[in-house]
Chain A
Amino acid sequence: MSALLHVDGVSKYFAMGGLLSRTQTAAVRDANFRLEQGTPEIFTIVGESGSGKTTLARMILGLETPTEGEIRYKGNPISGLSFGAARRAFMTDVQPVFQNPFEAFNPLKRVDRYIESTAKVFRGITARADLDAAMDEALASVGLSLAEVRGRYPHELSGGQLQRAAIARALVCKPKVLIADEPVSMVDASLRMAIVNLLRTLRDDLGVSVIYITHDLATAYYISDRIMIMQKGRVVEMGAARQVLDDPQHPYSRLLKASVLSVTDAGQGNLEPARDLMEASRTALEHADASRLVEQGEGRLVRMAG
């Protein structure tokens, strides 16, 4: 099997501070994973704020350049896909959905114009009727219709509608990979499941691979095929989603799982079951420099000392 997307030993360092005290912060350290061609899956990246999830996503989209390592799409390094036709072909295949639906659209332009121009550029559609059909198809697959969206400005739609329109805009290119960076964290709880289910439909019906970035373990457990857990830029655990989440090995993964509010005793104020896990997670982080990912079988990796 050949790789659709291959993240190969990628690290990203940012220079921080002023002229006198310049330090380097590692946003991502040595990330490795690959999505295979022909087997669409939902690959989830989980981690707290600042764990490097979004930086990783931006590198895959070509918005940031990795400091070390390389990201390859269908065997071609994406750093070489930054101009002209090659860039356009790459963007047709790899599309993003970001966190905040209210920032996703220019407040001065009608929402349908956005979807329309994307269809024009990436699918080369020019005829009015074909454009409408392509837009309506994309909107229908997210549970909207062209009639609902046409002529509307972003401030006239709700957050849930905007987020679905943003997904429709990505879908209108018929992408192979959708990078969804916390797509539901700013959407109403009641709409969250609709969007999460939508990602699943994309995988099953349209064959789109989804990189789903989240800090919500419940939805990750629900839809993911594989999961990768990140702590301060390092991958600490990776493997089949259910396997990892049913029995997390790394202290940080355990802490994440323990921090999910339990349904059975949610009302009893039992909010600190994880004190010992926080300690263990912090210790693991302190000794992270002297650790490595250890193969556990069935594609499962856990970061361990030594």
Chain B
Amino acid sequence: MDLTTFLIQCLNALQYGLLLFLVASGLTLIFGIMGVINLAHGSFYMIGAYMAYALSPVIEATLGGGFFLTLLIGLALAVLLGYLLEWAFYSYLYNRDHLQQVLMTYGLILVFEELRSLLVGDDVHGVQIPDFLSGSIPLGEVMSYPVYRLFVSAMCLVLVVGLFYIFNRTRLGMMIRAGASNREMIQSLGIDINFLYRVVFAAGFALAAFAGMVAAPVSSVYPGMGNEVLIICFVVVVIGGIGSIQGALVAALLIGFIDTFGKVLLPEAAGVLVYLAMAVILLWKPNGLFKAA
């Protein structure tokens, strides 16, 4: 592998890892803080991707279009949808056992897949890359790297930094972390924990949907795309340590690199490398790399 290929693969790995993190961060927070195993989290990613596909013509027709406008409206819809879902379904799951959570969230996967099938059909669709991001940057003499992929990584990085800032530096972040360790105490400090949960859930939904939206032009949109992401995100959450957002970031990047380089260097074993890595890490650290309190 020459240096240019290596660099390109690193960029791919980074982009994939960051996208995974956006989905996995919500999953780990919802699991770590509310104690809910959310199997439907992959569907949130799918909903985002299909929003990118379905919204852009609508926004083109009504508001004159615009890539960022589409993203922004999609994000707003995701927050709203997350808020409603929490209120209608997830808020009833907090004190239930894991079996009931798994059953209901699995049911939601079926509902979302069926709704997708009814609304957009079962075909694979491509999503247009906006013109101003459709170019490529030449790397070396024969290779080049698409600008859009760099843009995806940059957007994700901005979100990662923002997320870590909120989580580690703001009062909201302190409350969220505190809520994970002692629900009764946080309420007796005057904080409405149900509202806090709703905010965390809506944010988790929006992050996953955002990842789906920006990934759509690269990956196209297709049935079952959410479930692929869900499984790999559970790997990320488990490796990183359940409830740990730092762990999720490290694990997502790790998986991004293992998967990307695995496909290049050991294509025969690429499918199992990620799971092998998980097994090794869990043997070494049964609670994951970072243990949340």
A binds B: no
